[in-house]
C-alpha cells in the first residue's frame, strides 16, 4: 500500500525531510495545480486544527501535504472538501497490525505444535457439535488416521432458533479436551460469549470466533487477551476489509496468533448454503500476512460439493481446510446434512495431500509425529 501510494504521486521528487517521515504518514494530500498561497495556508491550518501534524512539500509541478496522526479520526470526505485539495491518498490500510506493511513475511501460527501458514497446512476436522464421548472418540480416531491435525467440535452453539440444540457447554469442553488428548490432536472450539472466554481457553488449544460473532468487538477483545490461537471466520455479509479489521481487534490486544477463515458469504442463489468466495483467499494474501483457511462445509452445505471446493481453496493459496465429519450424519446434533462420512474424508485427504505436494506445501504433522 505504501509503495502504491508513493507511485501514485506521479513519482514527484520529495525533499529529504519529507522522505524521512513518509513511513509515519497517515494520509497524503495532493493539492491542485496552481493552488494559491492562501489556499496552501488554509489547508495547513485546517489539518492542524483537526489535531494533526502537517508537513508541506513543494515539487516542480505539485504541492503535497503529508498528515501524521490517528487516521480513525480522519475522513477522506472532510479532507477532500478543503479548497485546493485535489486528491486524498491513505498511506497505510486501517488494519495496521494485520497488513503486509506491518509484517512482510507470512505469519506461521503454532497451535500446540501444529503449524499453520508459510507452507504449513492445517487440516481441521470433526463434527459440528460435541456429542457423546464414545462417538467423539470414534470420529477423532478416524479423521486422525485420514491425516487431520486439528480436531474440532462445538460445545457452545449459536443457533438461528432458540429451540435448537445449543451445545453441551462445559461438559462438551471436557469431552473435547479428553478426546483430543487421547488422540494427541490439538482442539478447536467456538466461543460465543465474552463471559466464557477464560473457561473455553482452559480446555481447548484454539478459540474459534464464528461468522455470527465476527464483529462482536467485545468478544474479539477478550479473545485477544488470552494469547490462545484464534480461528476467525468471515461474517456472512462481511467484506475482506471487515474481516481484517476484526482480526485487528485481536492483534491490538497483543495476540498475534490469528488464522482467518473463508466460509462463504450471503448470495442470491439457493443452490448452495452460501456463496464460496474462493477469490477471497488470494485477495487476503495481497493484503495481510495472516494465514487463511477455507471451510467448504459451511460455504456449500452440500457434501457432494465439499471435495471440489476444498481442492479449489487449497489451489487458490489457502493455508488449510476446515471440514465437518460425522460417522452418522442423520444422528448428528447439528448440521448433519453438510458433514462428510469418515471414508469420504479419507479419500479427500488423499487428494489434498497430493495437491499440497504439487504446490510445494505440506500438512503440518501432529506433535511428536514425524513429517
Q: Give 117-164 pLDDT, tens digit per residue.
A: 999 999 999 999 999 999 999 999 999 999 999 999 999 988 778 878
pTM: 0.81
Q: Looking at residue 22, what is its pLDDT?
A: 45
Question: In terms of CATH, what superfamily is 2-90?
Answer: Phospho-2-dehydro-3-deoxyheptonate aldolase; domain 1 (3.30.70.1140)
Cell 514527484 belongs to residue: 12
CA distances 52 to 30, 31, 58, 87, 88, Å, are: 17, 17, 19, 18, 15
Whether 109-363 and 2-90 are alike in CATH topology: the answer is no
Domain residues of the chain, as ranges? Answer: 2-90, 109-363
d(CA 168, CA 215): 25
Predicted confidence at residue 1, as pLDDT, reads: 41
Dmax (CA) for the chain in angstroms is: 79
CATH class (in words) of the domain with range 109-363: alpha beta
pLDDT-derived band of residue 96, with 50, 70 and 90 as boundaries?
confident
* Cβ atoms of 218 and 196 closer than 8 Å: no
**For the chain, how many residues are written?**
371
The cell for 350 is 488423499
When pLDDT is cut at 50, 70 and 90, the band that residue 204 belongs to is very high
Amino acid at each position: 500500500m505504501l509503495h502504491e501510494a508513493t507511485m501514485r504521486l506521479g513519482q514527484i521528487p520529495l525533499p529529504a525531510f519529507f522522505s524521512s517521515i513518509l513511513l509515519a504518514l497517515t494520509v497524503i494530500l495532493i493539492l491542485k495545480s496552481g493552488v494559491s498561497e492562501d489556499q496552501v495556508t488554509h489547508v495547513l491550518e485546517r489539518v492542524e486544527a483537526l489535531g494533526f501534524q502537517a508537513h508541506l512539500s513543494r515539487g516542480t509541478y505539485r504541492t503535497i501535504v503529508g498528515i501524521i496522526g490517528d487516521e480513525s479520526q480522519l475522513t477522506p470526505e472532510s479532507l477532500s472538501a478543503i479548497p485546493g485539495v485535489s486528491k486524498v491518498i491513505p498511506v497505510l490500510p486501517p488494519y495496521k497490525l494485520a497488513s503486509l506493511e506491518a509484517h512482510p513475511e507470512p505469519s506461521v501460527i503454532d497451535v500446540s505444535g501444529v503449524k499453520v501458514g508459510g507452507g504449513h497446512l492445517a487440516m481441521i476436522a470433526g463434527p459440528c457439535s460435541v456429542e457423546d464421548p464414545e462417538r467423539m472418540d470414534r470420529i477423532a480416531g478416524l479423521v486422525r488416521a485420514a491425516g487431520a491435525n486439528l480436531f474440532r467440535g462445538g460445545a457452545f452453539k449459536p443457533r438461528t432458533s432458540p429451540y435448537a440444540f445449543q451445545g453441551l457447554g462445559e461438559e462438551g469442553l471436557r469431552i473435547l479436551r479428553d478426546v483430543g488428548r487421547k488422540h494427541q490432536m490439538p482442539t478447536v472450539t467456538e466461543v460465543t460469549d465474552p463471559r466464557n472466554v477464560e473457561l473455553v481457553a482452559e480446555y481447548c488449544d484454539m478459540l474459534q470466533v464464528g461468522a455470527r460473532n465476527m464483529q462482536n468487538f467485545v468478544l474479539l477483545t477478550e479473545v485477544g487477551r488470552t494469547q490462545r490461537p484464534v480461528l476467525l471466520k468471515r461474517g456472512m455479509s462481511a467484506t475482506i476489509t471487515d474481516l481484517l479489521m476484526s482480526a485487528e481487534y485481536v492483534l491490538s490486544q497483543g495476540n498475534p496468533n490469528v488464522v482467518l477463515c473463508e466460509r462463504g458469504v450471503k448470495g442470491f442463489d439457493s443452490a448452495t448454503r452460501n456463496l464460496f468466495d474462493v477469490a477471497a483467499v488470494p485477495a487476503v494474501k495481497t493484503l495481510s500476512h495472516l494465514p487463511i483457511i477455507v471451510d467448504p462445509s459451511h460455504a456449500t452445505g452440500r457434501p457432494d460439493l465439499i471435495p471440489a471446493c476444498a481442492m479449489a481453496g487449497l489451489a487458490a493459496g489457502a493455508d488449510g481446510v476446515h471440514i465437518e465429519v460425522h460417522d452418522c450424519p442423520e444422528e448428528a446434533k447439528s448440521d448433519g446434512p453438510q458433514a462428510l462420512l469418515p471414508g469420504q474424508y479419507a479419500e479427500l485427504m488423499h487428494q489434498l495431500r497430493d495437491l499440497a505436494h504439487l504446490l510445494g506445501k505440506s500438512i503440518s504433522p501432529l506433535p511428536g509425529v514425524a513429517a
